[in-house]
Structure formats: structure tokens, C-alpha cells
Chain A
Amino acid sequence: MEPWVLLPLEPATPVMNMALDEELTLRVGAGDRPPTIRFWGWSAGCIVLGRFQSVRNEVQIERAAELNVEIVRRISGGGAMFIEPEGAITYSLYAPAAIAQGLSFAESYAFFDSWVIAALRSLGIDAWYAPLNDITSTNGKIGGAAQARRGGAILHHTTMAYQMNVPLMTQVLRIGQEKLSDKGIRSADKRVAPLLQQTSLPRETIIQHMIAEFADRTDLRTGTVTAEEMAGAEERARDRFATDDWRYILP
């Protein structure tokens, strides 16, 4: 079985979570670290924008500032997420592109999340993959994935809703009607079905269950972010991810 390294959940700032993703993707691409899976910890709530989203089109900027909700931008495409530290389960896979050889870009999305579908189903949640990038269920959407490709490696990261603060989310995000036009549903809260609506299990238990499922399919060992990688990520955070040049690259 393929050797993988697990980086257990460690709280990081929103900006550092963005920076770690890029740093670790490049390290895997360079062959400096084996394929790696990281579960994210969040030290603060935030809005995470996709690489190609416009801040003013997605965010109620003044309201977010009043409520002290930080805006960050990730390196992958896809949609905006409103994150509260205990409200989401986020993980990243960092893999050499060769792992997805022969798969189309679209097929690779389902491929990298197939173990999660199995983990959720074994918890009694009727989940399946809805192309291009959604994990969904009979009750509604659970989460979404996004990928970036850098230096011979694929970053595949996914956020699943565990518990949603819909009133706060709808104050800080703009949710346009066009986005919902082919879903036949008007309100944002109705199209998402957080895990806590579908199971009573604590977030930590679900994560442990997911890790066990992943470990069944790989030769999984626990590891750490090296000091060098951490320094690299801190530099990226400072020089790029924390800057307005990056945050407002699409204003």
C-alpha cells in the first residue's frame, strides 16, 4: 500500500492554513515529503474565498469587518466558505500528480474523496459524490472540494459542514440568485445539510472515523510539519496570504 503521512489536527490561523497548503503541496511535488493528509484546525472564524472569486461580489465587506470576520483567499478555485472553528471539518491531501494519472481533472475530484464517502456511509449517512466537487446526501449538500496543481503535485482539499451558523453566514456572504438557479431552491441554508443534522456524533469522532477509513486504504503513519516547512509557510503567510494584494487580487 502507498505510504502516506498524517498530520493531525493542529489549530492554525486562517492565513497560515492557506500558506501551509501551498508549502506542503510544493514539498510533495519536489519529492521532499511523502503523500500527506492534513486535518485543519482553525484558531479563528473566517471567510475563505476561492482563487477566482471577487471579494465585493461574494462578501458583505463592511458587515464582515464589523463582525471581525477575516477574509482570506486560498490557492484553489471554487466557492466561498464561511468557517467557524468547530463548525467545519476540513482536510487536505497533498499527492504527486502521478497518483491521479489517467484520470481527467473532473474524475480526480471524486477519486480523492472516495474514502470520505465510504467513511460517512459507514456512519449511517447516505452520502455520495455529486460531480464536479460536492459531497452530498439525501438531506442536502455536506461539503465541497477544490484542487490546485503546483510543481508536479495535486492539492485536493475539502470542507464539510459540521454545524452551521446560518444567520451569521448570510450576514457576511452574498448568496446570489443566479448561483441557485439550477438547484430550484431559494435559500442558502436549505441547500446545505451539516453533519450534525445527520448524526449526533461529535466532530472529533467523525474525524477519527475518517482517519481510520483512510488508514485502511494506505500505509499511514503519523508525522509532523518540519521546522523548515513551518518557516516556509510563515514566510508565504507574511509575504502573500496576509497581504491585500493577494486578498483583493480580484477585488
Chain B
Amino acid sequence: MIEPAPGFHGEYKMPGGKLVQVDFNIENGRLCDVEVSGDFFLYPEEALAGIVSALDGSAADLETGVRAGMIAAAIPAGTEWLGSSPDGLALAVERALQVHD
């Protein structure tokens, strides 16, 4: 039922916004087992799968700005993401990686 938490965990809360959390593992220099969670709002909720797929398999050593761009590109037009953003999620990934430096 509950699988062990992945090894990397990062969070970021935009000022005045919501918390975004990311959990993942790294294999061969790439992110895997990615989970994105938090108390944000996302419409439609199915957009979460696209956000996760932008991170899953991506290189761990990407620059944060590049990663944010990849996340943004994976979000279909018309999606409303309230309380967080591609930049916020990319920062959460950066923080997760820093903890392990």
C-alpha cells in the first residue's frame, strides 16, 4: 500500500502561494519515480501527468531555468495552475538535489 519514499525530496512555496513538493530517485544521471504533490490547485487535474512526465527521465544536471522551461512546455494551453508554477517546481527539484550534494 505505502511504498518507501523515493530518496530525493524537495519543496518550494511561492511567496503568497502554495507548497509544491517533489519526490524522485536518480538512475544513470536521470530522474525517475517522480511524484509531484502539494496543496496547489490545477485545472484540469489530468495536467499533473504532463508535469510529471516532463521531469521523469530528464537529466539530473539540467539548469533550473531549462528544467522550468521543459515543465512549462508540458502543460497544455488552457491549464490553470494556481499557487505554484513551472519555476516553483524546478526550484523544488534544485533543492532536492542540493540536499544530496
Interface, chain A (partner B; CB < 8 A): 50-57, 61, 75-80, 105-106, 132-133, 146-149, 176, 178-179, 181-182, 244, 248, 250-251
B2 touches A105 (CB 8 A): no
Given contacts A53-B37, A176-B19, 8 further A-B contacts (CB under 8 A): A50-B39, A52-B36, A52-B38, A52-B39, A54-B37, A77-B39, A77-B42, A251-B3
**Nearest Cβ on chain A to B69's Cβ, whole angstroms:** 22
CB-defined contacts of B45 to chain A, threshold 8 Å: 51-52, 75, 77, 148
Give the nearest-CB partner of A178 in chain B.
B11
Chain A residue at smallest Cβ distance from B13: A178
We find that the number of chain B residues with CB closer than 8 angstroms to chain A is 30
Tell me if A182 and B15 are in contact (CB < 8 A).
Answer: yes
Closest to A247 in B: B1
Partner of B44, one of A149, A176, A181, A251: A149
Instruction: Chain A residues near B36: list those with CB within 8 A.
Output: 52
Q: Considering the chains assembled together, what is the distance between the CA atoms of A80 and B19 in angstroms? A: 12
- Closest 8 interchain pairs by CB? A79-B39, A54-B37, A77-B41, A178-B11, A250-B37, A182-B15, A105-B80, A179-B19
Q: Is the CB of A244 within 8 A of B82?
A: no
Q: Which residues of B contact A57 (CB under 8 A)?
A: 9, 21, 23, 37
| Cα distance A28–B15 in the bound complex, in angstroms | 35
A184 vs chain B, min Cβ distance (A): 11
Asked if A251 meets B13 with Cβ closer than 8 Å, knowing A78-B41, A176-B19, the reply is no
* Given known A244-B1, A251-B35, contact A52–B80 (CB-CB < 8 A): no
